[in-house]
């Protein structure tokens, strides 16, 4: 049965709203909802987007996405404001905090949990608002729409937006109950390009701990209901993690504890506000709604063809989210999972969770039907840089204490990256250390010193979801995507150079990074000059570089040859390579041997990494090599020889470094109170 509520003039808007958009949902099989002439559609009033799927993303490298400036307290404040002005049917609103997105931004519709306020995404409004047109669904406290009616409401909005921009995806971000709405709409609209992000989906309600709660709530006196949401808040998530969401990263322990205490003290008394946000009658209705929603969705999972990402918490005390992630990943055709083992049900309220970073990390941000690794790429934020390098990678950085050297156009070697051009296109060509251990140091140096993002060409295997499972955590591979990695291919290299990007290329590829015993610092390059002529086509500057230090931190004890002699390991290697994308199969020699495996390493007392970027090679005056294969090959061999000479130079000069060992560096740093130790004079 369709809702037939009369439309009235919009209520006084709380400060968090850009506008209310009221829509009338139709029955599931009936006509679409009707719009009053004075009411805009989800985007019609603000539509400034051109129908260009590949619009430029104009964001600075290390821009501030304002993540961490909102808290659960802001959620409670906003929710109390919105329930004051309730009345009427469900509606969409655009949070003021989201601001104006970049040109060509796709639409993101947030579907709330059982609270229905639409503010469950409040900690992420500012970051998501930079790259999405964010709209949130508000279901008033007094609304008693059936699940099918809510599905019809969301479905009409999705169809309308798809009609406005048929070549762009529509993102549906569901939280708990909202996941059921997203799944239902996707099942009913398999031909619409939808991207579903499901946070602890309530499609598992049939196996939930909430099932026995309904008769208890119905019998509970109204004056005792105030305690129910308060108790549920502790079951739903960890208040400490929620309070930590607004505590700045990198503070001294004593200051961190002080900020946490203030945040927690302000938060705890406010949790009882949930009794007003979810009154007794509303809570009973929502639990009944969950039951029907779960049943409806479970019977229609087979029809879903949308791209799906499930975010599952390991400590969800309300829903069996881990098991549901397993189930959905096995039943849905295009489903991936990111598992957060230490998080509770209210994942989007917890410290350390940045939804935009997760979307970028799994390569699910796009403007068209498929991800474009060049046009759709979003630069890293200052928060992502700090979390990855100043926190996550801090111990490794201190252990290897990288030395960065570069070469000026005069040929003089200097400390730092002064010898690297400031404008692209630039092609960095070098030696690939074992397991790519040098990558994080290169990315960190270019971002911190030159504020330049490097687009690293990587093996296609790293971008395949086949290597994932239903308990896949957010990993270093995901971080590589955030910081610019993309599949190696001639077309991607062509397009990056055309955009004047800084590109990192390893001609030795996986064969070099997964070398055998005794092959450290050996170059495995193809016979043909794969990149030289393409660089010349775009007047790119080629910068050869070398790095040494892998033999100072680990010893390769089990290489490919060793492992293939062990039957059960050999079988695992064969499974890994069976479905992996094969590259350079048309080449001869060792470079065509791109078998993937995980080397067995024995750690050593850390030494030091040394990088040297050679003299930049300008191709602007080398147009002849576009047609002259012989000259192109000469330049190719010159670059290869230069990298070999750089490696030999670094191996020789590191012997002169009095602080090559971590022990000497630690003594120096402790004595002088500095973060790094000096090195040899270049």
Average of per-residue pLDDT across 208-213: 66
Q: What is the structure's pLDDT at 16?
A: 41
Q: What is the structure's pLDDT at 43?
A: 36
Average of per-residue pLDDT across 468-497: 94
410, 449, 432: which is closest to 615 by C-alpha? 410
Q: What is the structure's pLDDT at 86?
A: 62
Q: What is the structure's pLDDT at 4?
A: 29
Share of the chain above pLDDT 90, in %: 64
Q: What is the structure's pLDDT at 580?
A: 72
Judged against a pLDDT cut of 50, whether residue 225 lies above it is answered with no
Average of per-residue pLDDT across 267-278: 61
Long-range contacts, 565-568 (Cβ 8 Å, 24+):
none
Q: What are the backbone dihedrals phi and psi of residue 443, each rounded to the nearest 5 degrees, phi first?
A: -60, -45
Q: What is the structure's pLDDT at 216?
A: 59
460, 588, 441: which is closest to 524 by C-alpha? 588
Angle, CA of 514, 516 and 518, to the nearest 5°: 130
Q: What is the structure's pLDDT at 42?
A: 34
* Digit-coded pLDDT (tens) for 11-25: 333 334 444 443 333
639 vs 313: CA distance, rounded Å: 49
122, 76, 127, 70: which is closest to 101 by C-alpha? 127
Judged against a pLDDT cut of 70, whether residue 81 lies above it is answered with yes
Q: What is the structure's pLDDT at 207?
A: 85
Judged against a pLDDT cut of 80, whether residue 222 lies above it is answered with no
Q: How many whole angstroms from its chain centre is CA 416? A: 30
User: Lowest-confidence range among 31-35, 495-499, 564-568?
Assistant: 31-35
Residues near 503 by beta carbon (within 8 Å), at least 6 away in sequence: 425, 426, 427, 428, 454, 455, 456, 457, 493, 496, 497
Judged against a pLDDT cut of 60, whether residue 397 lies above it is answered with yes
Average of per-residue pLDDT across 63-78: 88
Judged against a pLDDT cut of 60, whether residue 268 lies above it is answered with no
Query: Residue 77's pLDDT band (boundaries 50, 70, 90)?
Result: confident
* Digit-coded pLDDT (tens) for 314-354: 988 888 999 999 999 999 999 999 999 999 888 999 888 99
128 vs 405: CA distance, rounded Å: 38
Average of per-residue pLDDT across 479-486: 96
Q: What is the structure's pLDDT at 642?
A: 98
330 within 8 A of 306, measured Cβ to Cβ: no
Using CA atoms of 527, 530, 532, 536 in order, give the dihedral in degrees to the nearest 10: 150
73 within 8 A of 272, measured Cβ to Cβ: no
164 vs 181: CA distance, rounded Å: 22
Q: What is the structure's pLDDT at 254?
A: 65
Q: What is the structure's pLDDT at 201?
A: 97
Q: What does each C-alpha distance from 198 to 308, 318, 321, 346, 528 come to in angstroms?
A: 7, 16, 10, 12, 47
Q: What does each C-alpha distance from 562 to 184, 270, 371, 556 come to in angstroms?
A: 51, 60, 38, 11
Look-up of token digits 């150079």: 497
């Amino acid at each position: 049965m369709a809702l037939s509520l009369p439309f009235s003039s919009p209520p006084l808007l709380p400060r968090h709203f850009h506008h209310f958009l009221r829509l009338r949902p139709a029955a599931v099989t009936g006509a679409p909802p009707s719009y009053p002439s004075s009411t805009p559609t989800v985007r019609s009033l603000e539509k400034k987007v051109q129908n260009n799927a590949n619009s430029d993303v104009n964001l600075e490298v290390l821009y501030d996405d304002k993540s961490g400036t909102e808290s659960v307290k802001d959620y409670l404040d906003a929710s109390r404001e919105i329930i004051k002005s309730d009345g009427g049917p469900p509606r969409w609103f655009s949070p003021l905090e989201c601001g104006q997105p970049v040109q060509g931004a796709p639409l993101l519709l947030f579907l709330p949990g059982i609270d229905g306020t639409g503010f469950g995404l409040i900690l992420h409004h500012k970051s998501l608002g930079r790259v999405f047109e964010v709209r949130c669904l508000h279901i008033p406290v007094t609304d008693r729409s059936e699940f099918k009616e809510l599905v019809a409401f969301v479905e009409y909005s999705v169809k309308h937006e798809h009609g406005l921009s048929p070549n762009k995806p529509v993102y549906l971000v569901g939280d708990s109950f909202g996941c059921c709405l997203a799944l239902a709409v996707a099942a009913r609209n398999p031909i619409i390009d939808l991207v579903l992000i499901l946070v602890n989906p309530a499609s598992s309600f049939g196996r939930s701990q909430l099932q026995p709660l309904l008769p208890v709530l119905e019998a509970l006196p109204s004056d005792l209901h105030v305690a129910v949401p308060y108790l549920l808040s502790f079951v739903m998530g960890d208040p400490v993690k929620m309070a930590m969401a607004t505590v700045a990263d990198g503070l001294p322990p004593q200051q961190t504890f002080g900020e946490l205490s203030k945040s927690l003290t302000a938060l705890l008394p406010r949790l009882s506000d949930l009794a007003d946000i979810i009154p007794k009658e509303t809570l009973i209705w929502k639990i009944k709604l969950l039951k029907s929603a779960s049943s409806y969705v479970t019977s229609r999972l087979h029809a879903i063809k949308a791209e799906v990402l499930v975010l599952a918490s390991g400590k969800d005390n309300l829903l069996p989210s881990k098991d549901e992630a397993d189930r959905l990943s096995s039943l849905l055709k295009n489903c991936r999972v990111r598992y957060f083992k230490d998080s509770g049900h209210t994942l989007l309220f917890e410290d350390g969770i940045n939804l935009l970073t997760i979307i970028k990390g799994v390569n699910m941000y796009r403007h068209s039907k498929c991800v474009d690794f060049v046009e759709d790429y979003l630069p890293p934020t200052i928060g992502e840089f700090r979390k990855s390098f100043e926190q996550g990678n801090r111990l490794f950085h201190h252990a290897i204490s990288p030395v960065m050297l570069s070469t000026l156009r005069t040929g003089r070697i200097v400390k730092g990256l002064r010898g690297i051009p400031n404008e692209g296109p630039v092609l960095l060509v070098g030696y690939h250390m074992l397991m790519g251990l040098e990558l994080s140091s290169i990315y960190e140096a270019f971002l911190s010193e030159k504020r330049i993002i490097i687009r690293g060409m990587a093996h296609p295997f790293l971008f395949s979801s086949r290597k994932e499972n239903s308990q896949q955590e957010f990993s270093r591979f995901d971080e590589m995507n955030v910081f610019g990695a993309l599949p190696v291919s001639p077309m991607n290299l062509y397009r990056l150079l055309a955009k004047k990007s800084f590109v990192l290329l390893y001609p030795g590829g996986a064969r070099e990074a997964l070398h055998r015993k005794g092959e450290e610092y050996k170059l495995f390059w193809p016979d043909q000059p794969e990149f030289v002529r393409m660089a010349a086509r775009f007047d790119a500057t080629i910068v050869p570089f070398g790095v040494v230090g892998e033999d100072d931190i680990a010893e390769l004890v089990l290489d490919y040859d060793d492992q293939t002699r062990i039957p059960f390991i050999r079988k695992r290697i064969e499974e890994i390579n069976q479905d992996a994308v094969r590259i350079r199969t048309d080449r001869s020699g060792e470079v065509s041997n791109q078998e993937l495996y995980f080397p067995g390493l024995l750690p050593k007392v850390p030494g030091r990494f040394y990088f040297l970027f050679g003299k930049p090679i300008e191709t602007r005056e080398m147009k002849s090599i576009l047609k002259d294969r012989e000259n192109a090959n000469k330049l190719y061999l010159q670059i290869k020889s230069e990298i070999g000479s750089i490696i030999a130079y670094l191996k020789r000069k590191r012997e002169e470094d009095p602080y090559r060992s971590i022990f000497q560096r630690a003594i120096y740093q402790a004595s002088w109170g500095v973060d790094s130790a000096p090195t040899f004079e270049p």
